[in-house]
Amino acid sequence: MSRKSSRPRCPVCGLHQELCLCGELPVRELASDFVVVQHNRERNKPTSTGRVTAAVLRAPVLNYGAQDEVFDASALERPDTDYYVLYPIEGAATVDDAGTRPAPGRRRCFVILDGTWHQCSRMARRAPRVEAMPHLALPPGPPSRWGVRTPPNPAAVCTFEAATRLVEVLYGAEAAAPMVSFFTELSARMLGMRGRQPGHDDENKKAPSG
């Protein structure tokens, strides 16, 4: 991880190893496919929720922005798949199940961006394949509960929260409920590592979608 610490952290959930929650990951078996496109600067941040999002949704993580790496867009090029990127550009349609349901014999895949608001804006406009996808916005929802990083605006949520809302929109509250419970515990443990309680904000927070 980028922050030096004498206590090792889990590379997926970002918690200290003794607090790791990965044994309780609410892995979702869903008809849709998902891909997480993560900005390279988030790759080793323990407060990034992109990795745990990918683990829950069984999604590959594609890293974008590393100077010494070529962006691998092969997971975004399947000819039988309709792709959508979750990022609220001006005029983006609000995501729903009916509007994205694929034709018989095809699949749908939702691309979830992981980075700061500025980083996600760049990825949505510049990442190969991603920039040409239909952009979708989440419906309005409650403010973020990821108090570890401060949101850039009241509508911003972290990657895991965005993914949870997406699952709820597509598959209902029952499908998203285990993700909500898991995130509540993840947030509490992450804040507890800092000697804080849920409800307080800290450093700049990533917000892949509104």
Angle between helices 173-192 and 159-171 (to 10 degrees): 170
Q: Is residue 6 part of a domain?
A: no
The pTM for the full model equals 0.88
Cα 49 off chain centre by = 6
Q: Is residue 112 part of a domain?
A: yes
Question: How many separate domains does the chain show?
Answer: 1
pLDDT digits (tens, 9 = 90+) for 73-123: 999 999 999 999 999 988 899 999 999 999 999 999 999 999 999 999 999
Q: What is the CA radius of gyration of the chain?
A: 16
Angle between helices 159-171 and 50-57 (to 10 degrees): 30
Q: Is residue 2 part of a domain?
A: no
Mean pLDDT, range 46-71, rounded to an integer: 95
Residue span of the structural domain in which 145 resides? 27-204
Q: Is residue 159 part of a domain?
A: yes
Is the pLDDT score of 2 beyond 70? no
The identity of residue 27, as a single letter, is V
Is the pLDDT score of 143 beyond 60? yes
CB 24 within 8 A of CB 198: no
Q: Is residue 21 part of a domain?
A: no
Q: Is residue 12 part of a domain?
A: no
pLDDT digits (tens, 9 = 90+) for 174-188: 999 999 999 999 999
Q: Is residue 20 part of a domain?
A: no
Q: Is residue 5 part of a domain?
A: no
